[in-house]
Structure 1
């Protein structure tokens, strides 16, 4: 188990399930709850970096040097602090959200996988820095067996899996659970799956209701967030416009309350799972 605060990896083996959107929504909801959040973008696509409007340099060389990719080459203890930048949303979001921005060079991380303790680099880079935060959110790439995932999960307490009500997404989440069970002893003995958040949900679709039942078989009924994230235009606008969901029109204000409920459930679930793992 890492030092407080809780470190949460947002992960699913399948792309396009709303993983980064859920990471964005939870980060915003946490800030609105008065919590200081460290958002770590482990995906080389850098979508969370953009969506939180991380205040990064427009110069390519400067941006690379001030990215998570540069830190993870050979990090000193607590080195992540040198690259942290605030959200560009303004107001409480800028005050409460700090971002470790991604860069395409994260794709080069596997070249160092054979080096001693390479999977512990993020954990080392975070040492001491996280004491100033209430929550650490790690947005993972849509992989299962990759060095980026190994690095992220070694620095993680619990995994939260966003999942839409489609066959491929459910099977991908199942593979995440299976890999945690098979490999936690080599990566992180206390790593646990906190549960699943159902995204892009349509109550009217029988297949979505059926898939939620299958999700329950993976993580148990208590591991499914009871608040579903519906398929609304505002969910897309939040990502496309890189703004807090509450600023995305009337639907966005409705979704704002949904994300508050999801965040409250997530915090409670994290506490339960971490207590059981202790």
Structure 2
């Protein structure tokens, strides 16, 4: 999951999709590559209380110089009470020290560190989602994209967000052959959509024009209070009994589209 612009609801989209996947009975690994650690907090992944121990128990420690499969040593379960999520969502937690990875960018094959750390671990999951930082040209992005098969772009219907998504698309097309020849943009998810706003209707057209209508999820994620509660209260959408069910059903349908889209790309029929 990536967008060059921050604040577009990228992590909220990841949170909604991984919980929808768990509700569908799938085992999910959520990899938090953003040094802010918002996904780690929102999934209530527990890190040690002592500050000096937190970095060592996070992805930042693994990616310094990973052995094959080392990601497994820092994985923790989702902290939600409901076993539907707790037993099916596993988190690779972030830490601020992820920012220091840029200092290792000159090392040979350093962009392959996450890919190396994941070997032998990801086979235990039905879905792996990497939450990227809001960057375009950074070592964190290179590490995340080098380990990914598909890229999903959450995008608000606003000018800056659309242009940021366009820049992501352009960079993948430009650098795929040197960074990750197998990386494919699977699609765009329109987030925080207000169908009654004319400007959102206009930007929706701009989003469709980035890659074509077939690349855009037909489900528009509407701006609902439950989405804010999901982020602020670190809870699954269905915990909000007022409009959380409606929001969760949106993500159920988004996840179904993502799954269908990725399967079609893997089979070469998209």
TM-score, structure 1 as length reference: 0.95
1:109 corresponds to: 101
Is it true that 1:244 corresponds to 2:245 in the alignment? no
Further displaced range: 232-241 or 267-276: 267-276
Is it true that 1:20 corresponds to 2:29 in the alignment? no
Instruction: Please list, as runs of the form range in 1=range in 2, the aligned pairs for 1:102-251 lying within 5 A after superposition.
Output: 102-251=94-243
SS at match of 1:249: coil
Check 1:88–1:266 CA distance in 2 against 1; reply closer, same or farther (3 A cut). same
Is it true that 1:262 corresponds to 2:254 in the alignment? yes
SS at match of 1:273: helix
1:65 corresponds to: 56
Deviations 1:112-142 (A, max 9, x none): 0000000000000000101110000000000
1:38 corresponds to: 29
> Does the 8 Å CA contact 1:192/1:277 hold for their aligned counterparts?
no
1:7 corresponds to: none
> Does the 8 Å CA contact 1:246/1:253 hold for their aligned counterparts?
yes
Distance of 2:54 and 2:2 partners within structure 1: 25
Q: How many residues align?
A: 269
Distance of 2:268 and 2:202 partners within structure 1: 29
Distance of 2:160 and 2:45 partners within structure 1: 32
Q: From 32, 39, 58, give the equivalent of 1:48.
A: 39
Distance of 1:49 and 1:277 partners within structure 2: 35
SS at match of 1:138: strand
> Does the 8 Å CA contact 1:160/1:195 hold for their aligned counterparts?
yes
- Gap regions ≥5 residues in structure 2: none
Deviation at 1:277, TM superposition (A): 9.6
1:95 corresponds to: 87
Deviation at 1:263, TM superposition (A): 0.4
Deviations 1:152-190 (A, max 9, x none): 000001110110110000000000000000000111101
Deviation at 1:273, TM superposition (A): 2.3
Query: CA-atom RMSD, angstroms?
Result: 1.2
- Gap regions ≥5 residues in structure 1: 1-9
